[in-house]
Homo-oligomer: A and B are copies of this chain.
Amino acid sequence: MAGDRAASWQSIRDTIMLRIRDRTYPPGELIPNEADIATEFGCARATVNRALRDLAEAGFLDRRRKAGTRVIEAPQRKATLDIPQIRREVEARGQAYGYRLLARATGPAPEDVRARLRLPEVEETLYLESLHLADGAPHMFERRWVVLRTVPAIAAADLAAVNPNEWLVREAPYTHGGMEFHAEPAGAAAAALGCSPTDPVLVMERQTWLHEAPITYAREHFAQSYRLCLGL
Contacts and interface: CB of A to CB of B under 8 A. Distances in A.
Per assembly, the copies of the chain total 2
A176 interface: yes
A193 to B, nearest CB: 12
A21 B173 contact: yes
A156 interface: no
Contacts of A20: 173
Contact of A178 (B74, B77, B229): B229
A79 B83 contact: yes
A202 interface: yes
Given A77-B83, A81-B79, A230 B178 contact: yes
Contacts of A184: 183, 200
Interface in A185-232: 185, 198, 200-203, 208, 222, 224, 226-232
- Looking at chain A's contact residues, the main secondary structure is strand
23 contacts: A20-B173, A27-B170, A74-B169, A75-B169, A75-B173, A76-B82, A76-B88, A78-B81, A78-B83, A79-B179, A80-B80, A176-B231, A177-B232, A180-B230, A181-B181, A181-B202, A181-B227, A182-B226, A183-B183, A183-B224, A200-B200, A200-B201, A208-B232
Interface of A: 20-21, 27, 73-83, 85, 88, 166, 169-170, 173-174, 176-185, 198, 200-203, 208, 222, 224, 226-232
